[in-house]
A and B are shown apart, each in its own frame.
Chain A
Amino acid sequence: MSKRLTCNVVVVGAGMVGAACALYAGRAGLDVILVDRGPVAGGTTGAGEGNLLVSDKEPGPELDLALLSGRLWGELAQEFGEAVEYESKGGVVVASSPDGLAALERFAQGQRAAGVVAEPVAGDGLYDLEPHLAPGLPGAVHYPQDAQVMPALAAAHLLRASGARLLTGHTVTDVLRAPDGAVRGVRTDKGDIHAPAVINAAGTWGGELAALAGVRLPVLPRRGFVLVTEPLPRRVRHKVYAADYVADVASDSAALQTSPVVEGTAAGPILIGASRERVGFDRTFSLPVVRALAAGATRLFPFLERVRAMRSYLGFRPYLPDHLPAVGTDPRVPGLYHACGHEGAGIGLATGTAHLIAQTLTAKTPDLDLTPFRPDRFAAEAM
């Protein structure tokens, strides 16, 4: 046991969400220590992509959080833009059939009412936006608010600017609690850290951290593969993906089916992502999954046929059963805050999440109603 550390807030997890929490809490005047068992961005943040999307979200609490987060990302871009490779490039969601286009426009209509900018694009206008798209596509919707960052750089730079003390290589082994049940800090394999508030930003492992505090939070892994091509001059200008509604009218809410998102990066390679599978923490490479990504991307952009995939990587999205994150105080354990379970949108939603957490920590009224994100909403369900 080394020297005992004290601070106002301990953040557990040096991923995108923990880094953002450290920044917003620090800027709210709190003294923050951030711990991670590995390095910065060693978890899912270093194994995904950095799309900041509103286009793929239906109206509801997640879209509200995405819109708030998008505004905050825009502010941070003034400060960190280059260093985190922020690009407000916009998204283009392409329909592959006239029926699909009609459905897509209905979807966009709902989004507009919630505050999303969604511009219809007719067939020929589409090729002005994206000249290398496959010919013969009926139309698309352009979402200028979609943006991107490089997640690992974003986490590292936000963290550095936060002024928080960073303890990498420290595994949290227990959440310390007072006799009345309130949080007193955390125990790590290298000593205790005392603080009246602990933020669970442990991503896909957020359920394990919650268990250390004696509460249940059913965060589970959802595997995703990404394909990375050789570096190319810019030929894909936006984030481009195809959307089609399942023509299955039997179900009351049509599920949005998307093909892989194809996007250029500042550094030159094109990223093609990402698959979704629930297979636990299985790290085995799956050729069929990656083949499907390649097929989807080459259908959209035929020139990609001859472009080489350099590598593929995988990560485990942290998901909760209702596909919404856990954000805010845990009524079961005073002093415990959750900021995890963002599934495939944790980079995009990190800023809004951190802002809301900082407001809660400093006893301000949060900008959004946190009820849909309550961490104890699963308490009654079976595991």
Chain B
Amino acid sequence: MTDPNRSGAVPHLVVIGAGPAGLAASVAAAACGVRVTLVDSAGEAGGQFYRRPAPGLRARRPQALHHQWRTWERLKDGLDRYVRAGCVRHLTEHHVWCVERRGEPDRGFTVHALLGPEQEGAAEVRADAVLLATGGYEKVLPFPGWTLPGVVSAGGAQAMLKGALVVSGRTAVVAGTGPLLLPVATGLAAAGVEIAALVESADPKAFVRQSRALAAQPGKVAEGAGYAARLLRHRARLLARHTIVEAHGTERLEAVTVAALDASGRVRPGSERRVPCDTLAVGHGMLPHTDLADTLGCRLDGPAVHVDDEQRTDVPGVWAAGETTGIGGSALSLAEGHIAGCSAAARLRGTEPDPGAWAAAARVRARLRAFSAALDSVYAPPVHWTEQVTDDTVVCRCEEVTGGAIREAVAELGAGDPRTVKLLTRAGMGWCQGRMCGPAVAGLAGCELAPSRRPFARPVPLGILARAGEMDHQ
């Protein structure tokens, strides 16, 4: 699998995604002597986790917002060193819209990207192997009022914090479910935002049931406890086993109604209360980005890319690491990225990789996968969340499709899965291609969320599509 376009015989690995997984993979692969091109849509390396304040903001202590700043500095130094040495090329603002598997005789791959913030130019990179480290995206379930200005996703709030340093003096409610809510609330509080409530639908008793798996991760539990303690110091109210019922406001968000959940996961009548706020950060967990893998023909397990012990997908020459293979936090992404980088480099050089070389990372991976499986069983949206979606709640924001329209398609027109709901209502046909409303549509249709096929990971101008593959590869 050598690149016919290069004179040297050094094999070429393209890593897509410069988050923790992609960075760890690039550094590991470069250390093993393969040529690496690291491609990311963002302007700087870091991914979701190491998103840093824009340099122009001259944040005095960005590390205050990051508890793993040292790891980041080590990775970043490693990357810089290999870039200077010419072993790694880092392409920023490259939005990959498709990875093409070239046929015989040359095999290999072509990575097709759109350039710049407007995504108008085109670039192609040829590779002997690709490593997908595209991370995940947030899942947000709808409720009445969720489209009001002032309602943001938990990740959106976090990005505001890390990227642009949010303005203080606001009153926020953080709601939904999942391990991200605590760090988001703590971060907002630290930036001077008053946290009126943290509303988590999970049942604290469920943590007790999972205590063994959780206790196996003392560091992680302590991290959570630390967040909670810091939050309480800011006098935030923690409401476990509660949910958002509605967001209120005319022009923008003014208040939310929260309510307690009963044992069956339904809103307990009479428990509703109104909490004034101007910001609502809401999130219901994360989902893996699988578009590029799916189009390459890689097998998916449920919502995630399937990989073996070496982080190989079932398509020869394609590795995957980090949250594209399952949501598990940055430390798991780092471990998987390291293993994937080592394996890919060895195999590209025609040698059988030695798993002993990554034994430590493999142990971390095993531990953290067990931990995140335990978290998954604890953090869950309310079982009956769809009851909160009124018929006039907009579910698909791009196409403005309501809960009522989706229910009608299922009950009266014979739709039975997200694809037929989409065909009969247009839910999921808009700009985001159902990334936002997919889980909600599946829930309202009463079926499992299956990743929908998106051959283009980004919308691509037809002129660029018409000439894809014709570029000169110097």
Nearest opposing residue in chain A for B419, CB measure: A46
Residues in B neighbouring A269, C-beta threshold 8 A: 429
Residues in B neighbouring A42, C-beta threshold 8 A: 416-417, 419-420
Cα of A168 to Cα of B412 in the assembled complex, Å? 12
Interface size on A, residues (CB 8 A): 44
| Contact in complex: B423, A311 (CB < 8 Å) | no
**Selected interface stretch from A88-96, A302-310, A368-376:** A302-310
Residues in A neighbouring B420, C-beta threshold 8 A: 38-42, 46, 152
| Contact in complex: B463, A156 (CB < 8 Å) | no
| Contact in complex: A285, B295 (CB < 8 Å) | yes
**Selected interface stretch from B5-13, B49-57, B323-331, B450-458:** B450-458
Nearest opposing residue in chain B for A157, CB measure: B413
Is A97 engaged at the interface, CB distance under 8 Å to the other chain?
A: no
Cα of A49 to Cα of B168 in the assembled complex, Å? 52
| Contact in complex: B424, A38 (CB < 8 Å) | no
Task: Knowing A41-B424, A285-B455, A287-B98 are in contact, say whether A305-B462 is a contact too (CB < 8 A).
Answer: yes
Binary per-residue interface labels of chain B (453-474) against chain A in the complex, 1 for a CB within 8 Å, 0 otherwise: 1111001111101111100000
Is A230 engaged at the interface, CB distance under 8 Å to the other chain?
A: yes
| Chain A nearest CB, measured from B302 CB (Å) | 18
| Chain B nearest CB, measured from A339 CB (Å) | 19
Cα of A309 to Cα of B416 in the assembled complex, Å? 27
| Contact in complex: A160, B413 (CB < 8 Å) | yes
| Contact in complex: B459, A309 (CB < 8 Å) | yes
Residue in contact with A311 in the complex, picked from B419, B456, B466, CB distance below 8 Å: B456
Nearest opposing residue in chain A for B421, CB measure: A39
Residue in contact with B462 in the complex, picked from A285, A297, A311, CB distance below 8 Å: A297
Residue in contact with B416 in the complex, picked from A169, A227, A291, A297, CB distance below 8 Å: A169
| Contact in complex: B297, A284 (CB < 8 Å) | yes
Residues in A neighbouring B462, C-beta threshold 8 A: 227, 229, 272, 294, 297-298, 304-309
Cα of A156 to Cα of B453 in the assembled complex, Å? 23
Residues in A neighbouring B295, C-beta threshold 8 A: 285
| Contact in complex: A156, B413 (CB < 8 Å) | yes
Nearest opposing residue in chain A for B102, CB measure: A287
Task: Knowing A152-B423, A305-B462 are in contact, say whether A310-B456 is a contact too (CB < 8 A).
Answer: yes
Residues in B neighbouring A295, C-beta threshold 8 A: 466-467
Q: Which label, helix, strand, loop or mixed, suits the secondary structure of the A interface?
A: mixed
Is B171 engaged at the interface, CB distance under 8 Å to the other chain?
A: no
| Contact in complex: B414, A166 (CB < 8 Å) | yes
Residues in B neighbouring A39, C-beta threshold 8 A: 414-417, 420
Q: What bracket does the count of chain B residues touching chain A fall in?
A: 35 or more
Residue in contact with B461 in the complex, picked from A152, A166, A307, CB distance below 8 Å: A307
Residues in B neighbouring A305, C-beta threshold 8 A: 461-463, 466
| Contact in complex: B431, A310 (CB < 8 Å) | yes
Is A14 engaged at the interface, CB distance under 8 Å to the other chain?
A: yes
Is B254 engaged at the interface, CB distance under 8 Å to the other chain?
A: no
Within 8 A of B (CB), among A124-142: none
Task: Knowing A152-B424, A284-B297, A291-B468 are in contact, say whether A168-B461 is a contact too (CB < 8 A).
Answer: no
| Contact in complex: B456, A312 (CB < 8 Å) | yes
Is B93 engaged at the interface, CB distance under 8 Å to the other chain?
A: no
Residues in A neighbouring B100, C-beta threshold 8 A: 287
Binary per-residue interface labels of chain A (133-169) against chain B in the complex, 1 for a CB within 8 Å, 0 otherwise: 0000000000000000000110011011000001011
| Chain A nearest CB, measured from B413 CB (Å) | 4
Cα of A169 to Cα of B416 in the assembled complex, Å? 9
Cα of A295 to Cα of B463 in the assembled complex, Å? 7
Cα of A216 to Cα of B431 in the assembled complex, Å? 45
Binary per-residue interface labels of chain B (276-319) against chain A in the complex, 1 for a CB within 8 Å, 0 otherwise: 00000000000000000001010000000000000000000000
Residues in B neighbouring A12, C-beta threshold 8 A: none
Q: List 11 A-B contacts (CB under 8 A).
A: A39-B417, A40-B415, A42-B417, A168-B414, A284-B297, A291-B465, A294-B463, A305-B461, A306-B120, A310-B459, A311-B455
Having A227-B462, A306-B120, one finds 13 other A-B pairs with CB under 8 Å, namely A39-B416, A40-B415, A41-B415, A42-B420, A46-B423, A156-B424, A269-B429, A287-B98, A294-B465, A297-B466, A306-B462, A310-B459, A311-B454
Identify the A interface with B (CB < 8 A): 14, 38-42, 46, 152-153, 156-157, 159-160, 166, 168-169, 227-231, 267, 269, 272, 284-285, 287-288, 290-291, 294-295, 297-298, 304-313
Identify the B interface with A (CB < 8 A): 98, 100, 120, 295, 297, 409, 412-417, 419-420, 423-424, 426, 429-431, 433, 453-456, 459-463, 465-469
